């Protein structure tokens, strides 16, 4: 159960769940800029953080919690929270958009591939095995 510090950045559309009402897949960045995917995360948990005043928004907020690698998912960035009640969660700093998103870019753009998107992953086998990524179109 490694403890990870994660900058939350993406939340998917909620899916109905028998146990948790609605679940979302949440993704973010580790401190080194690599992607991490967290599933399942109860939507009520994220909403509760806002309602209770712990955070104003969850996106671009650092959290720290224990996670486990998902063995039922082929994607290397896929993890699950170790404690679904999130008793071990520590909520950290929210990164704002000041100075043209400087604080967010410092983490989110650390691992950006600098090659044409059509070359990944087929054109460079083994280089990118993530199901998440960032690309910027050339205009």
Quote the number of domains for the chain.
1
Q: What is the pLDDT of residue 37?
A: 92
Q: What is the pLDDT of residue 86?
A: 85
Q: What is the pLDDT of residue 139?
A: 61
3-state secondary structure of 68: strand
Asked if 62 and 7 count as a contact pair (C-beta separation under 8 A), the reply is yes
Phi, psi angles (nearest 5°) of residue 26: -120, 135
Q: What is the pLDDT of residue 136?
A: 59
Q: What is the pLDDT of residue 33?
A: 87
Q: What is the pLDDT of residue 30?
A: 92
Tell me whether residue 132 is in a domain: no
Predicted TM-score (pTM) of the model is 0.76
Asked if 88 and 6 count as a contact pair (C-beta separation under 8 A), the reply is no
Asked if 29 and 63 count as a contact pair (C-beta separation under 8 A), the reply is no
pLDDT in tens, the chain (139 residues): 689 999 999 888 888 877 777 888 899 999 988 889 998 888 888 888 888 888 877 889 999 999 999 988 888 889 999 988 888 889 999 888 888 888 888 888 877 655 555 555 554 444 555 555 555 556 6
DSSP 3-state percent helix, strand, coil across the chain (nearest 5): 15, 35, 50
Q: What is the pLDDT of residue 123?
A: 46
Tell me whether residue 128 is in a domain: no
Q: What is the pLDDT of residue 115?
A: 56
Q: What contacts 43, CB < 8 A, 6 or more positions away?
A: 14, 20, 21, 22, 23, 24
- The CATH number of residue 87's host domain is 2.40.50
Tell me whether residue 125 is in a domain: no
Tell me whether residue 136 is in a domain: no
Q: What is the pLDDT of residue 17?
A: 78
Tell me whether residue 124 is in a domain: no
Domain span including residue 44:
3-119
Tell me whether residue 93 is in a domain: yes
């Amino acid at each position: 159960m490694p403890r990870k510090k994660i900058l939350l950045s993406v939340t998917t559309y909620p899916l109905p769940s028998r146990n948790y009402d609605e679940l979302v897949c949440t993704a973010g960045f580790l401190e080194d800029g690599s992607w991490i995917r967290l599933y399942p995360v109860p939507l009520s948990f994220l909403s509760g953080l806002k309602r209770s005043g712990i955070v104003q928004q969850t996106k671009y907020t650092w959290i720290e919690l224990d996670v486990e690698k998902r063995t039922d998912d082929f994607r290397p960035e896929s993890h699950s929270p170790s404690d679904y009640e999130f008793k071990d969660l520590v909520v950290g700093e929210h990164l704002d958009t000041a100075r043209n998103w400087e604080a967010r870019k410092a983490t989110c753009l650390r691992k950006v591939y600098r090659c044409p998107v059509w070359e990944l992953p087929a054109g460079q086998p083994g280089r990118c095995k993530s199901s998440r990524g960032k690309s910027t179109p050339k205009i």
